[in-house]
Structure 1
Amino acid sequence: MKTSSPTAHHATDATTSVTGLRTADDSGLVATPYPMPRLSWSLSSERPGVLQHAYEIQVSADPSFTGPASSGEVESDTVTDHAWPAQPLNSREIRYWRVRARTDLGWTEWSDPARVEAALLDDVDWAARPVHLPDDRGRTSPGPVPLLRREFHLPAEPVSARLYVTSLGVHRTTVNGRPVSGDLLEPGWTSYPHRLLYAAYDVTDLLVPGANALSAAVGDGWYRGHLTWHKKRDVYGDSTALLAQLEVGLADGTRVTVTTDGRWKGGYGGLRAADLYDGCELDLRHEPHGWQLPGFADQDWEPVAVLPLPQGLTQRAHPPVRVVQVVRPERRTLPDGTIAVDAGENLTGWLRLRVEGPAGAVVTVRHAEVLDGEGRLLTSILRGARATDQYTLAGGPAELTPEFTFHGFRYAEIVTSPDVTVEAIDVEVVASDLRRIGEFRCSDERVNTLYANVVRSQRGNFLAVPTDCPQRDERLGWTGDIMAFAPTACATFDSGSFLDSWLTDLRLEQRPDGAVPLVIPDVPLGELPPAELPFAGAAAGWGDAATVVPAALYEAYGQSSMLERHYAAMRAWVDFTVDHLDEDGTWSGNAQLGDWLDPSAPPEDPARATTDSAYVATAFVAHSARLLADTDRELGRLDDAARYEALHRRTAEAAWRKWGDHARTTQTGCALALAFAIVPATERADVGKALASLVRANGGRIATGFLGTPFVLPALSGTGHTAEAYELLLNPECPGWLYQVARGATTMWERWDAIRPDGTIDVEKAGTMLSFNHYAYGAVASWLYRSVAGLRPTAPGYRTLDIAPRPGGTLTSAEASVSTPYGTASVAWSISGDTLAVRAVLPPGTTGRFSAPEGWRCAETVDGLAAGSHSLSLRPVTSP
């Protein structure tokens, strides 16, 4: 390992500093699961044109960096995903690391050091074993939630303490009655047979010398609770359990370890039932007073039983589920005494109530996304999900929130027993706590509302896994939805570690032949509503999440190690599709979901789209082959890159021979042909004209479903048909994005026509597959960033950018920003009279290129854009 003295080179660039040191672990926990963390940083400078040419990383066992390990000088212009230059971390080991960069002016000073601590990296580190209540095992319906506890003694002042904790099910854990964190629904949902996540918390401040108590409630969650519209139970096991290991360092130098083992006891309390779909039932009269504190009389509680250590224990590396916002709703009292609640927006979470009433009084809260024609909750579209929380009071004041559940809703109704006063109502919005990194705004408030709806839908559905919807008896990780939405997801929130975790489960759940299940984590779906579809193990567009999502992550965050991790799944999926090609090179041998929910498809058969599903499937084979070829080139697999590029060409040619004429007749057909390079280059312009003509002939109304919608606007603008792209975007008629806005949407809908022009909801026609929070059509936001505002990455992680605004329609201004791995990049434009003013900011370490929109000429000569701020003025091109 190379070493280098901190003073080997004098710092000569005093204008630049290295900041924002980070690893790929985005959990916020005290430890990391990676023995050799990948390292990233940013540059901070007010000097224009700053670029990194090289870097040096040092790693040390102490913050003074005595005798550090060093990377030596490494030539690189990227600030992301660099190798750990020291020996791998051992479990619990603490190291410090720092970075300096060489710019065009020389070396910067060393950055402030960053601390990294290893989690429990091997099964041998676990002395704990899962514990559960024997009489709770094998329940066939939701029942009382087990409470587990153990007291222990610390003979001296605690100076450090780590709690490593997880569960089969979902847990709420406390030390001496105080929560160990604000994290919810831990440990989330993964492919439990292969991988169970745990969290590492610093709980030093929760402990005291003398008597202490460690306790937890463990609910069914995804592990044992209801899943899918068939409401299956016990999908992963018939018993919940807690696994916890508390390691405490004392002031006298000794250590105490407390583990879940046979010394624990368990009982039941006020939480009589808790289910993700159905809600919770809490009877405060049954809550054992002080059960989370030392000194509680638990002699009548049941001894626990011990289970084997689960497979695949690893620390969570992505952000947890938390309360991310609190909303004060509107409330009114209906004639029958029911309290009606309107949160003002469709969201995911629950109500927090402050009430007062006599013992035995009941408070019931029901939830729904929309109201029926009489102004009451429309709950039929929730299917089997009860979405109801019920509380029985112990007497006196109480603050009520549900446990181990969540609801997708805008509206709620509260019914109480007589003599109950509902003093306050808040709405707590719950989601995986991802950092917001993207913003967009323009001169049309309707488009701003559309963008806000996209943001809400992502937030409401990024909860432990990327779900299709948060309200009905589904809430599954549908692969097709995130395939369509991934580029938008990665620009709006920092979705890297979150989707990296989900892709890890995709790889684990992938069939031996390479087929990708329709939902990840994989849950047996049985009959697919509204009709059973005979799949040959996978569906095009859905399985292509295996290639599209990693490619989107790499483009957004520039982490080649992430590509390497998911390469095997990418390749296996492409090879699976090759094995299913017909002799003519097309994929037409099995039923497909196709361009799902094409607006012309019959409500009872959403897969019957206007675009041939076999053409769509074959087009996606070509698309994934090209993405895999690009990945091979990035990873240095040049022979494989050539092979999969040839596969793309062969498949594209086969698709065009067979369906070229058909593809020109539908918006999805044209969009996929252009976006996936199916159409020969010599015919590309003609297909662009055909797509534009289809848009005009349809009055600007959208005619695409889940698979076509992400590509139709980029296909139009990419072939120079900006006017038709804006015609689609700004169309206020059904079907269209702004139609939803006009009908009061606050999130994206599953169906374009979920609410009819007269304001009614045709439940009978649509059946129960009617969600008002489905992010797939929110893929439009990627085009808002990249084309309307004109902020587009051209190298992984936004190392290089195109500033290419495309004004159109009635818009007079637009702006967007993305917090990239290098810093915040932004672009803003406005039209005033005959002047188009553009302002762009490129973060240190990046370069850009400006592309003037058609019909405009820049007054300045712009050969390239360096890091820094740029202002440009454009005038209309004068006709000769």
Structure 2
Amino acid sequence: MMAMSAAASESTDPTVHVVGLRTADDSGLVATAAARPLLSWRLSSDRSSARQRCYEVQTASDDVFRSGVAGSGVVHSERRQDVVMPGPALRSREVRWWRVRVCTDLGWTAWSDPARVEAALLERSDWLARPIALASDAGRRDPGPAPVFRREFHLPMHVRTARLYVTALGVHDTRVNGLAVSGDLLEPGWTSYGHRLLYATYDVTSLLKAGANVISATVGDGWYRGTLTWLSPPKRNVYGEAAALLAQLDVTLADGQRLVVATDGTWRAATGEVLSAGLYEGSIIDLRRSPEGWRRAGFDDSAWSPAVALDLPPGLEQRAMPAVRAVETRRPAVTPAQRGGLRVDAGQNVTGYLRITAEGGEGRAVTVRHAEVLDSAGDLHTAPLRGATSTDRYVLADTGPVRLTPQFTFHGFRYADITADPGVTISDVEVVVVASDLTRTGHFACSNDAVNRLYENTVWSQRGNFLSLPTDCPQRDERLGWTGDIQVFAPTACHTFDSRSFLRNWLRDLAADQREDGCVPHVVPNVLHLLGDEDWEYGSAGWGDAAVTVPWALYEAYGDLDVLEGQYDSMRGWVDWCAGRLDADGIWSGDFHFGDWLDPGAPPDRPHEATTPTEFVATACLAHSARLVARVARLIGRTEDADLCGVLGDRAAQAAWAAYGTLAVTTQTGCAIALQMGIAPAAERERIGRYLADLVRKAEGRIATGFLGTPLVLPALTATGHHDEAYRLLLNDRCPGWLHPVRQGATTVWERWDAVGEDGAIHAGDMDGGGSMVSFNHYAYGAVAAWLYRTVAGLAPDPDAPGYRRIVFAPVPGGQLTWARAESSTPYGTAAIRWETDASSFTADVEIPVGASGVFVLPPGTWSAVRADGVPVAADDLRLSDAHGRRALMLGAGPHRVTLTSWRGTS
């Protein structure tokens, strides 16, 4: 809403500064794909009472705001996230500057420092380039040499600016004058290639010079035509028959002249040192096959073939999320292996590869094999890899030292064995950790070291499986975007890393691969169609619900209403499809479902046959998703849809309870679903909470939930006041339980609770129908970390004021913990809590960023006095927070200390 001109206000507020200007594009690239970027900012101030009352955004063609100025006018709103950039839509390659000022209770701030935004190629007609392939490479059905491409060109003078727009049908390593255009790996990542192909825009100005220049690239199979899934025989060329490069260099010379160098039939093509490179297989590199000097100008490529130009692919858009990069380098322990060669122990189960320095004679080889664990004999335990050979091999070209790095692959491993031919010396070994380079935003720690290790295991599993898309595992012949895994893990993911753009990108592929009738595939991108059984590849409850729950998690964590609007048709489509599967009695009793997958009580080879009735789980999931869609519909103004989905959700819940309530509450998952998905009537919640607590006690603290029940069971216990049982479940270190893997030395989260038994034996992972399924890096059970943040430490966004606009501090001490802390980098700034307790007191220090507010929910127990920032708090100043009598204190921005004296907790 517009109001007075900002210039009319003479009052100023020098205590507040507008900082942290950013767009929703999180790629780190020089350009953005959005014609109308979404803008966000933060406030910095030592004055905790400062709040934004209105804002003004200006854009201009220059950074001093003299040319092409446009503005929002004064907008009376506290909003500072996802504000549409004012002025006309960006044109391709256009550069614009923007700045913000806000009005507080003291008046207007100064303008922020300006931020720059540049448009990528926004129209298909902007692409003069065409994908190019090596003619002899097209149609190759087996792993083989990676094609290489080059184009030499002359620049008559120095360069003012240069942009390289580049992608591949496959994955590429592109360089200008022999220098890498970025540190990005496995570009352009994996999307639903038939609908969307991402490209990147790089500033290569500094890489060019007057005179002769050259662009060169190697293109690997990647996900585009490499091996995918566990099927036998191996399934390849899923998306196309040829690996290809698409590159367009736009150069503006010192005199303003513009030149374009684009991939076409004038480029030269051959093969080089990469004899094969597969995501599952690893890479084979023969350094003798590298044409000397081919990446530099002046190389004679007359013996190479002309490249073959292909049609421009559909769905070209610039990547808006961080790229895959080397995010850490580790020094491993290197010792002699018992069967010869060297044994490498990274000290941590990681996703990545080894970088080795070696020297030896021409033709001598170095081989690297990988595994997550060692078997009882001390050898690499490779059975869980199934068809993924996960082996890198190098052939040396001469006697000098050389750094060996695999191309176009990654491995899930802690251990590796290096073997080499006689005469080869290994002088250095590094572990390179790779992941999508998301910003770390959350941290947690407490007084229990085993719980801290569990939390770190979860962080490592998220890092290892957030690689271009949210995968199930990084090591075996799978590595797919299973919807069920991220459906349960999304809230934790958003606590720990800035997962917004990453998951938004994946959700767009989910919608693209969703059937027209609304049914969602089990994996996204959907490659299970290779099985040829469409009835199996779609439509599992708890898996397809990712279409609804993942956008909702983004809304809660980031206040991202835009993602709800963008994904709404997908969300509603899934719920409508599910509703069409209900029987006359309102129960979803047909179709295949994974159910409470890997419930410890299920047969080891049939993990979908869980102890909680699948029909109850499926119907409950529909009820939950329908109610969420109803809430979304109200938020975006679709009132009629909200009413319809709300009624559907309530009816499904009632049907599920009427048919299965008595049976469901005999399992931990059944109780947790009944409570957390709102299936049980309100009058039954207390009774079901007692049932759940009794189940935990009878199991001596051992967990009995699978993928769907696990993220719900601890919240269900604490929501019904059973804190002792919640901590007993968390802290149990016997199998099955969260701390059992920690006790066994795990450094990531396991797929199975009993991947290694109490006796140290590795689970065979046998599945009905053959094959093995046991991964030591699967984040699903790590969803418990959301409870560690929200309940143990007590830090969470308020879903009624999402994006941490209001922060809920609700710690629940227990389990003999003496302290806990958590912090989160929110859209408003850093929010944090640290509490400690002893036999007679409880103290919590909290931090609330400027512009946000907080509610501190007093921990369960009794106390004689409450003080906030040293001032006694009267009982009348505390509002009732929940049905268990917990009281809450409202807090403004800034640091606060809350103390309780004569305190007695519940554990």
Q: Report deviation, 1:765.
A: 5.0
Unpaired segments ≥5 residues, structure 2: 879-888
Q: Report deviation, 1:525.
A: 5.5
Q: Which moved more, 1:868-877 or 1:663-672?
A: 868-877
Q: Does 1:378 align with 2:404?
A: no
Among 249, 252, 262, the alignment partner of 1:249 is 252
Q: Does 1:782 align with 2:786?
A: yes
Match of 2:861 in 1: 855
Alpha-carbon distance between aligned partners in 2 of 1:864 and 1:689, rounded to the nearest angstrom: 31
Alpha-carbon distance between aligned partners in 2 of 1:777 and 1:456, rounded to the nearest angstrom: 13
Aligned pairs for 1:569-648 (under 5 A) are 569-648=570-649
Among 507, 510, 515, the alignment partner of 1:511 is 515
Q: Report deviation, 1:764.
A: 6.3
Contact 1:138 1:239 in 2 (8 A): yes
AA in 2 matched with 1:872: V
Alpha-carbon distance between aligned partners in 2 of 1:327 and 1:392, rounded to the nearest angstrom: 25
Using the size of structure 1 for normalisation, the TM-score is 0.98
Contact 1:855 1:876 in 2 (8 A): no
Aligned pairs for 1:477-516 (under 5 A) are 477-516=481-520
Match of 1:339 in 2: 342
Match of 2:885 in 1: none
Match of 1:465 in 2: 469
Alpha-carbon distance between aligned partners in 1 of 2:157 and 2:390, rounded to the nearest angstrom: 48
Match of 1:29 in 2: 29
SS at structure 1 position matched to 2:408: coil
SS at structure 2 position matched to 1:777: helix
Alpha-carbon distance between aligned partners in 1 of 2:283 and 2:221, rounded to the nearest angstrom: 11
Deviations 1:344-394 (A, max 9, x none): 010000000001100010000000000111101011110000100000001
Among 391, 394, 403, the alignment partner of 1:391 is 394
Match of 1:813 in 2: 819
Match of 2:134 in 1: 133
Match of 1:369 in 2: 372
Alpha-carbon distance between aligned partners in 2 of 1:533 and 1:205, rounded to the nearest angstrom: 51
CA distance change for structure 1 residues 18 and 385 in 2, over 3 Å: closer, same or farther? Answer: same
AA in 2 matched with 1:688: G
SS at structure 1 position matched to 2:774: coil
- If asked which structure has higher relative contact order (CA below 8 Å, sep 6+), I would say 1
Alpha-carbon distance between aligned partners in 2 of 1:109 and 1:856, rounded to the nearest angstrom: 48
Q: Does 1:46 align with 2:58?
A: no
Alpha-carbon distance between aligned partners in 1 of 2:546 and 2:520, rounded to the nearest angstrom: 9
Alpha-carbon distance between aligned partners in 1 of 2:633 and 2:441, rounded to the nearest angstrom: 29
Contact 1:2 1:69 in 2 (8 A): no
AA in 1 matched with 2:18: V
Match of 1:197 in 2: 198
SS at structure 2 position matched to 1:844: coil
Contact 2:268 2:305 in 1 (8 A): yes
Q: Report deviation, 1:104.
A: 1.9
Among 269, 272, 286, the alignment partner of 1:266 is 269
CA distance change for structure 1 residues 878 and 310 in 2, over 3 Å: closer, same or farther? Answer: closer
Alpha-carbon distance between aligned partners in 2 of 1:8 and 1:518, rounded to the nearest angstrom: 57
Q: Report deviation, 1:562.
A: 1.4
Match of 2:547 in 1: 546
Among 894, 898, 901, the alignment partner of 1:872 is 898
Contact 1:354 1:399 in 2 (8 A): yes
Match of 2:116 in 1: 115
Q: Report deviation, 1:2.
A: 7.2
Q: Report deviation, 1:61.
A: 1.2
CA distance change for structure 1 residues 662 and 377 in 2, over 3 Å: closer, same or farther? Answer: same
Match of 1:330 in 2: 333
Match of 1:93 in 2: 94
Alpha-carbon distance between aligned partners in 1 of 2:787 and 2:609, rounded to the nearest angstrom: 27
Q: Which moved more, 1:183-192 or 1:715-724?
A: 715-724
AA in 1 matched with 2:173: R
Q: Report deviation, 1:524.
A: 2.1
Contact 1:2 1:70 in 2 (8 A): no
Alpha-carbon distance between aligned partners in 1 of 2:524 and 2:312, rounded to the nearest angstrom: 24
Q: Report deviation, 1:533.
A: 11
Q: Report deviation, 1:641.
A: 1.3
Q: Does 1:278 align with 2:281?
A: yes
Aligned pairs for 1:728-877 (under 5 A) are 728-763=729-764, 765=766, 768-794=772-798, 795-857=801-863, 858-859=866-867, 860-861=872-873, 863-876=889-902
Q: Report deviation, 1:4.
A: 8.6
Match of 2:883 in 1: none
Q: Report deviation, 1:11.
A: 5.0
CA RMSD of aligned residues (A): 1.6
Q: Report deviation, 1:52.
A: 1.4
SS at structure 1 position matched to 2:659: helix
Alpha-carbon distance between aligned partners in 2 of 1:124 and 1:526, rounded to the nearest angstrom: 34
Alpha-carbon distance between aligned partners in 1 of 2:320 and 2:175, rounded to the nearest angstrom: 22
Alpha-carbon distance between aligned partners in 1 of 2:248 and 2:440, rounded to the nearest angstrom: 33
Match of 1:565 in 2: 566
* Corresponding pairs, count: 876
Match of 2:884 in 1: none
Alpha-carbon distance between aligned partners in 2 of 1:876 and 1:599, rounded to the nearest angstrom: 42
AA in 2 matched with 1:840: V
Contact 1:791 1:802 in 2 (8 A): yes
Q: Does 1:411 align with 2:441?
A: no
Alpha-carbon distance between aligned partners in 1 of 2:22 and 2:417, rounded to the nearest angstrom: 45
Alpha-carbon distance between aligned partners in 2 of 1:756 and 1:94, rounded to the nearest angstrom: 59
Alpha-carbon distance between aligned partners in 2 of 1:287 and 1:537, rounded to the nearest angstrom: 45
SS at structure 2 position matched to 1:626: helix
Alpha-carbon distance between aligned partners in 2 of 1:367 and 1:177, rounded to the nearest angstrom: 31
AA in 2 matched with 1:439: H
CA distance change for structure 1 residues 449 and 877 in 2, over 3 Å: closer, same or farther? Answer: closer
CA distance change for structure 1 residues 222 and 764 in 2, over 3 Å: closer, same or farther? Answer: closer
Contact 1:856 1:875 in 2 (8 A): no
Alpha-carbon distance between aligned partners in 2 of 1:429 and 1:111, rounded to the nearest angstrom: 37
Using the size of structure 2 for normalisation, the TM-score is 0.95
AA in 2 matched with 1:704: T
Q: Report deviation, 1:527.
A: 5.8
SS at structure 2 position matched to 1:52: coil
SS at structure 1 position matched to 2:82: coil
Alpha-carbon distance between aligned partners in 1 of 2:902 and 2:748, rounded to the nearest angstrom: 38
Q: Report deviation, 1:255.
A: 1.2
Alpha-carbon distance between aligned partners in 2 of 1:8 and 1:223, rounded to the nearest angstrom: 58
Q: Which moved more, 1:398-407 or 1:535-544?
A: 535-544
Alpha-carbon distance between aligned partners in 1 of 2:904 and 2:368, rounded to the nearest angstrom: 65
CA distance change for structure 1 residues 282 and 523 in 2, over 3 Å: closer, same or farther? Answer: same
Q: Does 1:447 align with 2:451?
A: yes
Unpaired segments ≥5 residues, structure 1: none
Q: Which moved more, 1:637-646 or 1:753-762?
A: 637-646
Q: Does 1:236 align with 2:262?
A: no
CA distance change for structure 1 residues 559 and 180 in 2, over 3 Å: closer, same or farther? Answer: same
Match of 2:882 in 1: none
Q: Which moved more, 1:323-332 or 1:11-20?
A: 11-20
AA in 2 matched with 1:384: G
Contact 1:856 1:874 in 2 (8 A): no
Alpha-carbon distance between aligned partners in 1 of 2:733 and 2:637, rounded to the nearest angstrom: 48
Deviations 1:497-532 (A, max 9, x none): 00000000000000011000000001025569xxx9
- Percent identity, aligned pairs only, is 58
Alpha-carbon distance between aligned partners in 1 of 2:377 and 2:11, rounded to the nearest angstrom: 72
Contact 1:78 1:799 in 2 (8 A): no
AA in 2 matched with 1:121: L
Q: Report deviation, 1:722.
A: 1.0
Deviations 1:755-808 (A, max 9, x none): 011111132657610000000000000000000011111121010011111001
Alpha-carbon distance between aligned partners in 2 of 1:533 and 1:497, rounded to the nearest angstrom: 30
